[in-house]
Amino acid sequence: MRRLGLRGLTRLIAVVLFLAFCVSLVPLSGCGGDSPEAAVRKYLSAWQEGDWVEYKETVVPERRKLSKEEDELAKQKFEQIEIKFEDIKMETTYDKKDKNRGTVSLISGKVSMTADVLGEPKTETKELPMEGWGFDVRKVNGAWYVDRSPG
């Protein structure tokens, strides 16, 4: 085994410190995705699973800062409708002026929504694409997020 001289040891320490620094940055990326579509998939998955905490984590960090009252109201609204996504296909369009922004459109698939109507569960299923089922996305600290309020 070769012995490291002072120069080699200095390089090794620099590499180790650099890697430690990079690893320490990972928690800053939160629950965003590594692509616009991955971010939207996480958002839709959390929505379908009814996971309010994960759902909020998939949106741009500054948008998830709600007052306690706003958070409770948004959570109640979130819990009132069960949603299921099937065979979702997406398409991303990037902002021409800012590569860290874009829109992910749901171009095909099905979305089923179930809610209590007068005490009875009612389900409505729609084929995609539908107007309003595009999601603005934004890259923050190297991760993509859905750019909308969770409420």
Per-residue pLDDT at 8: 45
User: Does 73 map to a domain?
Assistant: yes
Please give the model's pTM, rounded to 2 decimal places.
0.76
Number of domains in the chain: 1
pLDDT score of 144: 97
First to last CA, the chain: 60
In a domain, 72, yes or no: yes
Within a domain: residue 107?
yes
Segments of the chain scoring below 70 in pLDDT: 1-32
Q: Classify residue 21: in a domain, yes or no.
A: no
- What's the confidence (pLDDT) of residue 30? 46
pLDDT at 151: 76
Cα-to-chain-centroid distance, residue 3: 47
- The CATH number covering residue 53 comes to 3.10.450.50
**Is 11 among the domain residues?**
no
